[in-house]
């Protein structure tokens, strides 16, 4: 059994590379959406801050190694991208006691996806505003590619308009061209 990913995650938690949220601190947990690979919920921390909880589906990853490989790949890619203004902010992870695996905790970037935003605002959206959106998506993807990451699923549903700025999400299928070994080497330095 390949346990490299699980060991990396445990090590990252021990060394505090990743913030771990106590699941009991979340309240008002509500279902947002479901896809083939994940369930998404919104919640509120006790302090009032809203977050998004993303769970990879247990039934998709019946083999534990597959789950940890995919989960750790997404977490590593999100950590690399956390300084980008146009990428959804990774806050940490948590473990719902009723679930088999961890979930990812994201900033709560409420907003319409790009498709809905453009359909709703097309008539009143100026060309300079449209160009600004395009440039910011390009800036986000530039940051993704600078980290040698391939998004693999960039589409209007994975771009939210949040605080009048496009934010790219949907990194569950992203891959790093550097592979996991380079990530481990740079974290050890």
pLDDT digits (tens, 9 = 90+) for 99-139: 888 999 999 987 799 999 999 999 999 999 999 999 999 99
Closest listed residue to residue 69, CA positions, set 146, 179, 152: 179
The Cα 130–Cα 99 span in angstroms is 42
Mean of the per-residue pLDDT values of the chain: 89
Supply 158's token pair.
Answer: 């994975």
- Angle of CA points 173, 107, 29, to nearest 5°: 95
Residue 181 has pLDDT above 60, yes or no: no
Just give the CATH number of 4-188.
1.10.510.10
pLDDT digits (tens, 9 = 90+) for 16-61: 999 999 999 999 999 998 888 889 999 999 998 999 999 988 777 6
For helices 64-81 and 4-14, the axis angle rounded to 10 degrees is: 50
What are the structure tokens assigned to 107, written together? 């900033």
Beta-carbon count within 10 A of 174 CB: 20
What does pTM read for this prediction? 0.87
DSSP H helical ranges for the chain: 4-14, 64-81, 114-121, 127-146, 179-188
């Amino acid at each position: 059994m390949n346990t490299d990913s699980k060991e990396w995650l445990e090590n990252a938690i021990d060394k505090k590379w990743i913030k771990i949220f106590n699941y009991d601190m979340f309240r008002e947990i509500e279902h947002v959406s479901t896809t083939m690979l994940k369930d998404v919920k919104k919640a509120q921390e006790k302090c009032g801050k809203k977050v998004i909880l993303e769970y990879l589906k247990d039934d998709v990853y019946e083999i534990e190694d597959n789950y940890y490989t995919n989960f750790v790949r997404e977490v590593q890619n999100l950590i690399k991208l956390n300084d980008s203004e146009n990428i959804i902010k990774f806050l940490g992870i948590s473990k719902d006691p009723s679930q088999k695996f961890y979930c990812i905790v994201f900033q709560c970037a409420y907003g319409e996806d790009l498709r809905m935003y453009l359909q709703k605002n097309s008539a009143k959206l100026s060309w300079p505003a449209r160009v600004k959106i395009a440039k910011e998506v390009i800036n986000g993807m530039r940051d993704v590619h600078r980290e040698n990451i391939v998004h693999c699923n960039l589409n209007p549903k994975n771009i939210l308009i949040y605080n009048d700025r496009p934010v790219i999400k949907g990194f569950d299928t992203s891959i790093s061209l550097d592979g996991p070994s380079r990530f481990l080497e740079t974290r050890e330095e």
